[in-house]
């Protein structure tokens, strides 16, 4: 599945819920699906700056695709990074860099986050794209 298809799928999933309490619960469920991040990656180098909570993000390249793993110490934030990983993990670096993030506005996420969480979301996307750029340059 490509990035756009995954984004569309997430939009459809969020549209199933009537209110934001249900959507927050869904985000929390997404966070529970994240595989455990190895303790070796819970370091300052992998910490996303600009997030109020702690969010660690690790990326590796395998056969030209970028794979992300992450964790957070906050349940909503963990759900947000899980959603982003679902969209971007297993994709080509150039596709990650070219991807639009309009799906976040489409599902209404940014407007329903506190300003600090919204800033954290922007920081997460920036870090994902930075990893993609670095791994694209390395290949």
State the catalytic residues.
Answer: 51
Q: What is the token pair recorded at 89?
A: 């993990």
The answer to whether the beta carbons of residues 31 and 78 sit under 8 Å apart is: yes
**For every residue of the chain, which 3-state class applies, written as one string?**
CCHHHHHHHHHHHHHCCCCHHHHHHHHHHHHHCCCCCCHHHCCHHHECCCCCCCEEEEEEEECCEEEEEEEECCHHHHHHHHHHHHHHCCECHHHHHHCCCHHHHHCCCHHHCCHHHHHHHHHHHHHHHHHHHHHHHHC
Q: What is the token pair recorded at 70?
A: 């992450």
């Amino acid at each position: 599945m490509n990035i756009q298809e995954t984004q569309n799928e997430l939009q459809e999933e969020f549209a199933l819920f009537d209110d934001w309490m249900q959507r927050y619960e869904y985000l929390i469920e997404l966070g529970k699906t994240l595989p455990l991040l190895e303790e070796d990656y819970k370091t300052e180098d992998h910490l996303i700056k600009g997030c109020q909570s702690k969010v660690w993000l690790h990326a590796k390249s395998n056969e030209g695709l970028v794979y992300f793993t992450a964790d957070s110490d906050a349940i909503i934030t963990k759900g947000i990074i899980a959603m982003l990983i679902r969209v971007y993990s297993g994709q080509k670096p150039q596709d990650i860099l070219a991807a639009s993030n309009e799906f976040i506005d489409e599902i209404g996420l940014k407007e329903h986050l506190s300003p600090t969480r919204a800033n954290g979301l922007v920081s997460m996307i920036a870090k994902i794209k930075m990893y993609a750029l670095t791994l694209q340059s390395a290949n």
